[in-house]
Structure 1
Amino acid sequence: MTLDLRIFTEPQQGATYDDLLKVAQATEELGFSAFFRSDHYLTMGGDGLPGPTDAWTTLAGLARETKTLRLGTLVTSATFRHPGVLAIQVAQVDQMSGGRVELGLGAGWFAEEHAAYGIPFPAKRFGLLEEQLEVVTGLWGTPLGERYSFSGEHYTLTDSPALPKPTQDRVPVIVGGSGPKRTPALAARFATEYNQAFPAFGDIAPRIDVVNQSLKEAGRDPETLTHSAALVLAVGRDEAEFERRAAAIGREPAELREHGVAGTVAEAVDRLAQVRADGIERVYLQVLDLHDLDHLELVAREVAPRL
């Protein structure tokens, strides 16, 4: 099984659209399959200058400035947008890209960014996420000429024309989380992909087993769901280059080796081979230094071919 490698960025830590464009174009030129970004409005350390960029505004721009690269969020927060608005935004960006968009959707967790920008942050958000998934996929799945209505605890839609439609027959939907029952059940209902975000390596295979069991209980073939993981990236041609990259993102080399795709090229290959053996089919490589494009080239030229 070929391991699908994607690039995943955290622009809230400090990046302009032009910075992201350079990374996305390098991602495409180097042969990675996708460029993903987080959906956050506040830095999680540092000054965050020049400030946040909006995820779907960014992806709309990239949709017109790339040709083959898949584009998406890991993950959009259900607290940020009404599901009707989100369905329109994603469908439009999918049209703009010629059918290359994927939607990662989560409940949201970062209370401070909500406070900073006046966004409501309810204590209980799983219900929001569940209804958003139902509404967004329901709008997209409503046949042309028909109407869509929904009445839930959080959202009510009445006689919607359910437009616009995405270019893709089905926009891939990514769900993730570590809950033992509710999140796997949600993935079984709505997702094309289940993502483990920065998991402990020993937890990967057991988690896949839990999700696959939920699929079976829902009467769904486990083969219809892609299993992925997001892991921090820090690789060097030698130990000195690795340590320089670790320092550039403010992380300790030993900690990176324990939790990420990190170390020398050989170590990175071994780590990725391990997660593939555990059942992961796709890895989102979290790139934290967006100015180090040589890092991407090293992985594309030296790591990916050995997988």
Structure 2
Amino acid sequence: MADPDLAPTPNSDPSPDLQVNEVPEIPTEVLADIAGDKPASTEEEQTTWPLISFKHVSMWFGERKVLDNVSFYVNRGETLCILGRSGVGKSVSLRILLGFLKPQVGSIRVDGQEINQYTEEEMQAIRRRITMVFQNGALFDSLTVRENVAFPLRERGGQEEDQVQQVVDRLLGLVGADDVPDALPASLSAGRRRAVAIARALASQPEVVLYDEPTTMVDPIIARRLGGLIQRLKQQLGFTSIVVTHDMRFAERLADTVLFLDEGRAAFFGPLKDFMASPEPHIQQFLTLDAYVLPSA
């Protein structure tokens, strides 16, 4: 098992199946919509500490230990994929990072600052920097697609209404949902809701996006588009992402580093290529089961 206190070598050999051109290059004006006027990180910030780190985090729900001494970190501009079977603490880790859950033990740092004891008001500042795309989309049911994406723009302020609508149109075009601007979320497929949720997340101009099972109940075409979009955001904006998934093929396309959770423990943390080559039986079993295809009738 890789030592989380030692920097894993970034994965410089992406999967040969990667087809980033499935998503066209993001236009300059859309990049500006997403990036806003945030200053680029300095060389010192890029090398001094990780953007996000968990150290020895443990959490219980009653008598059930959901996370057991878990450590990992994410550097700026990297994509971490958190893998594992259902119920091993993958999504819990994201909710801890956003302060929706508080672990009983451990340290959580963002940009070198300990946040585990932050108040709700202090966590609001963290959530402006780190946003999450929930598995169910978490859209406002009573608002149209257009109004959902416009919500964080209006909340932030500083733009006229016609500017807000222009940004919304560009973001909906980016995620392939520009044909349903007036639809209500309940009328959309799971994949479309997920795409709209990503557009809304990007409208908040975050530094980090957390994705909770982005390909669950999504058809392969939309899944590939979402994967390509995450890659484009990384390539063109240096976006940092954490992707919770059980889909190894999706992870192969995206991951620089992998955290593999097994019964709440960090059974592996390191580069994707090392995870794929690991001889550990529980990892090989996970990879084998993921690759298994049911025979046709």
- What band does the TM-score fall into relative to the shorter chain? 0.3 to 0.5
Q: How does the TM-score come out when normalised to structure 2?
A: 0.35
Q: Which has the higher contact order (CA 8 A, sep 6+)?
A: 2
Q: How does the TM-score come out when normalised to structure 1?
A: 0.34
Instruction: Give 1 or 2: higher helix fraction.
Output: 1
